[in-house]
Structure formats: C-alpha cells, structure tokens
Amino acid sequence: MSTMRDVAALAGVSAKTVSRVMNNDRYVSEDVRRRVESAIRELKYVPNTVARTFRSGRDAAIGIAVPDISDPFFATVTHTVEQIARRHGVAVFVTSLGNDEAAERAGVEALLGRQIAGLISTPIARDQSYLKPWQSRTAVVFIDRAPTKITADSVVEDDLGGAYTATTHLLDHGHRRIGFIGDAPSITTTARRLDGYRAALADAGVEPDAGIIELGAASAADAGAAAVRLLGLPEAPTAVFSSNARCSIGVVPALQSIGRADTALISFGDFPLAEALRPALTVVDQDPVSVGRAAATRLFERLESPDRRLKRKIVLPVSLVIRESCGTSLTAGAAPADDPGARARVPCG
C-alpha cells in the first residue's frame, strides 16, 4: 500500500505539503495541488486513517453534530469538513441536535453507534462527560463552544472580543442605548458575547439597561418579535447588536416591517445575502470556513497520531466587517461607498 511519503516523492514535495493539500489548505498553490492530487490518483493512495478503520472494523466515516444544519454558520462549517473528509476518502454523517439540552446525548450517541472513527460536535447541554467512555476509540473535537466536564479538543471563536468590538463601534458613533438580542444565556457563545457587550458599555461609562436585553430567541421569528418589542419601548434603543446570524435573519425583516430599517444594527455572524441587503449588514465575521478547516484538520491529526501532544483549545480571531447598517460611512482607505460590495475589515479582540 502506498504511503504519504510515496505521494510526496512522486509529486516532488514534502509529506507535510501532501497533508496540507488533503486538508484543503488555502495557502497551497494550484500547481502544487495539481501535482499532489495527480500523484494520489496514480499511486491509488489510501490515507492511513481509512486503512486503520478498515483493519479495526470501524467505518471509514466521521460524524458531525450541530444545533441546526440550516443555520448559515453551521452549514458552512459542515460543508468545509465534508470537503476535507472527502480528500481523506472518509464519509460524513451529519445530524442536527436542536437546542434542547436533554436531546444532545441521544443525538450524539446515535452517530457514535454507527461505529464512526471521529466526531465533530457542538455542545448543547452543560455536561459532555457522557462521551468519556467513547474517547478511547473515537476521536472527538468540539466546535463553536468548549465542552464541560470532559478534556477534549475544541475550536472556538473570540466571542467576547468580537462582541466588544461591535458594541464599541456603535458607541463610537454616538449610540448609548444599544439593544442586545440573543439566544438562551445558558449557551456559552451567547453568554460570552453578552459579556463582551456589557464590558464595552462599562468601559464607555454607560450603565447596561436590562430592559433592552432580549434573551431566549431560539428562532429567527423569536428574534424578530424581540426586535419589535425593543423598538416599541418608550425609550427605544437607537442601535441593536444581534448575537448570531439566525437572530439577525429575523431582526432585519422585523425592523423593515415597522419602518425602522434606519436603526443601526450589527450582527455577530455573516450569512448569504447580508451584503446585498439595503442597507448592507455590518457583521462580526466568524469565518466558518476556518472553523471547519481547523476542526477537521485536528480530527484527522488525532486519528493519524492519537498520542501526539497538541494544544487542546484553538481560539480563532474574528473581525468586524463594516458595511452600511451600523449607520456609518466606510473608514478612510476602504472601498468607495457607492460600490455595492464596499466594506472595511477591522480585527477584533
């Protein structure tokens, strides 16, 4: 059976470069990618991960468990993982867990029952210790949120820093009553984004008002209703920070329906057509492609070298993509304001 070193020798590259091609690394040149892929085909190379799973009687497959596969963020993460898994000759099983904490274990164990070699999962419940017995035979990587009561790899974003930067951006443009719309506070990402929002207000000397913080929006419709409530207050906020893309998808049409599309709005999380809206939506870009790539790369690293010492937690940076909905013109040096695709990008954190 051909090895990765054989592929590297035929393609005239290093074994590490072969691995980067298989993990869909965007920094690999097209010429190198073509040579490596040609060598893989010529040698009929089967990654060790696949060979090992065949020998052990386990499926050459991995599982992905996310809250909602229709969510733009998780859909892109899943697609990226599938692309990388395909390069490794590995199939992917996907399941949506929903937002019910009590349903997480059953959903995840249904995937594990298919004898998958590895699992990428988003924690929903407050305890993932039920996975400990599985770890001896299944590689596990968590995404978007760190797990609790278990030691495992995780790939998360800088939620606090992103929310702080977004809120500060609104404060810098004169807003003092900034509403917050988000999911349940028991969800780690919501809690950390709320912390970032409150920290930005505190640093600006603005007392947080619990009356303009709407939590528990489990759907786009819930978030839209929350936005209508906020804008109907006697002292309505002049700006809104939406803590995830799903909420934002509900908030935008809700503001339009009550004639308040002029309300400044920033979304934590980009989504398709956000830039095509009028006004184009300013977002904290989570870069789900990077999240999916990092999670899949780590999972296959664990499958190839289970005993290798690696940093358990990967924290990816986010950035503020300034468009139009935050009520400000683009910063100096950015694309012209009359360019429909104009935007400026500001690092967060």
Q: Are 286 and 318 in contact (CB under 8 A)?
A: yes
Sheet with 213-214: strands ordered across: 213-214, 178-181, 239-242, 264-268, 282-285, 319-322, 344-347
Range of weakest confidence among 27-31, 57-61, 88-92, 121-125: 57-61
pLDDT surpasses 90 at 46? no
Structure tokens at 257: 């329906």
Band (136; pLDDT cuts 50, 70, 90): confident
Strands (E), 227-297: 239-242, 264-268, 282-285
Q: State which H helix or E strand residue 315 sits in.
A: strand 313-316
Cα angle vertex 257, ends 177, 325, to 5°? 50
For residue 285 the two structure tokens come to: 């870009």
Q: Which amino acid is at 331?
A: T
Cβ neighbour number for residue 34 with a 10 Å cutoff? 12
Of 59-63, 131-135, 226-230, which has the strongest mean pLDDT?
A: 226-230
Q: What is the pLDDT of residue 346?
A: 61
pLDDT mean over 52-62:
62
The per-residue pLDDT for 269 is: 93
- AA letter at 52: R
Q: Is the peptide bond before 288 cis (omega within 30 degrees of 0)?
A: no
Does the pLDDT at position 30 exceed 50? yes
From CA 285, how far away is CA 303, in angstroms rounded? 30
Q: Which is higher by pLDDT, 27 or 294?
A: 294
Mean pLDDT of 161-188: 95
What is the DSSP annotation of 15-61?
A: HHHHHHHHTT-TTS-HHHHHHHHHHHHHHT---HHHHHHHHHT--SE
Average pLDDT over residues 288-305: 93
Task: At 109, list the tokens.
Answer: 């164990």
DSSP tag of 312? S
- C-alpha–C-alpha distance, residues 163 and 319, integer Å: 10
342 falls in which pLDDT band (50, 70, 90)?
very low
> Which of 21-30, 32-41, 326-335 shows the highest mean pLDDT?
32-41
Q: How far apart are CA 310 and CA 179, in angstroms?
A: 40
Question: What are the start-end ranges of the E strands in 67-208?
Answer: 91-96, 118-121, 139-143, 153-157, 178-181
Taking 80 as the threshold, does the pLDDT of residue 340 lie above it? no
Closest CA to 266 of 323, 329, 311: 323
Q: Each residue of 9-24: pLDDT tens digit? A: 999 999 889 888 877 7
> What pLDDT, on the 0 to 100 scale, is given for residue 338?
38
Query: Is 125 a residue whose pLDDT tops 70?
Result: yes
Residue pair 197/164 in contact by the 8 Å Cβ criterion: yes
> What's the pLDDT score for residue 25?
77
Under the banding of pLDDT at 50, 70 and 90, the label for residue 49 is low
Q: pLDDT category, 344, cuts 50, 70, 90?
A: low
Given this model, what pLDDT does residue 190 score?
95
Residue 334: the pLDDT is: 34
Split at pLDDT 50, 70, 90, the class of 330 is very low
Identify the pLDDT of residue 348: 60
Tokens found for residue 182: 């988000």
**Rg of the chain on CA atoms, in Å:** 22
pLDDT of residue 137: 85
Q: What confidence score (pLDDT) does residue 278 get?
A: 84
Structure-token pair, residue 142: 């968590």
Least trusted range by pLDDT, from 52-56, 75-79, 111-115, 263-267? 52-56
Task: Find the range with the poorest average confidence among 25-29, 152-156, 190-194, 322-326.
Answer: 25-29
Is residue 54 over pLDDT 80?
Answer: no
> How large is the average pLDDT for residues 47-59?
54
Please determine, for residue 343, whether its predicted confidence score (pLDDT) is greater than 80.
no
CA distance 121 to 237: 36
